[in-house]
Amino acid sequence: MLFSKKHHFIFFCNPKIGTTSIEAALKQLDDGQLDHYSMPCLFPERHIPPTIARAFFTQAEWDAAFKFVFVRHPYDWVVSQYKWNFPPPLFYLKKFYWVPGRWRDTIREYIVDYIGRFESFDESIAEIQKRLGIELNIPHINVSKRSSAKDALTPAACQRIQELWREDFERLGYSMDAID
């Protein structure tokens, strides 16, 4: 999570959605006032969901800030997250049946002002720049070779992801069909 009182924003970081690149661009604007907030073993400070982070702010700070987050299609996110945690040669997602559902809590309540999408990253960044009135130079950091979720997931894995992220599929309009 990055916070700027001066630029009136709070950026909530979801893992494996390009947030390291966004953080690099926004870090110079971060006031650093939240550096001491974290929940060890639950959330490192950068991945605290908005529903929890809200308690760190006064009502005036919360109301004045443009709050935004990025999301990614659940199938694609699971494949990326799995590859990050279990890099090759251990990449056997076809045998993977359980998926942690932590990131979906970030958008469970629409308490953010804008939800950017990994799938339309450049357009989402343009909208954020417009709303903040700043220009961002987004570097590409931690870029990984993208595997097709369609090739990596079995029907059983897709079904389990659909169960765990049903609300995300519905509220964010993601298709439950296999993606490329």
Q: Which has more pLDDT, 158 or 97?
A: 158
pLDDT at 98 over 60: no
- Domains parsed from the chain with CATH numbers: 2-172 (3.40.50)
Strand bridging mode 114-117 / 66-71: parallel
**What whole-number distance in Å separates Cα of residue 50 and Cα of residue 108?**
10
- Spatial contact of 160 and 97, defined as CB atoms under 8 Å apart: yes
What is the arithmetic mean of pLDDT over 8-14? 86
**What whole-number distance in Å separates Cα of residue 11 and Cα of residue 46?**
9
pLDDT at 122 over 80: yes
DSSP character for 94? Answer: G
pLDDT at 127 over 60: yes
Residue 66: enclosing H or E segment and its boundaries? strand 66-71
**Does the pTM exceed 0.85?**
no
pLDDT of residue 101: 38
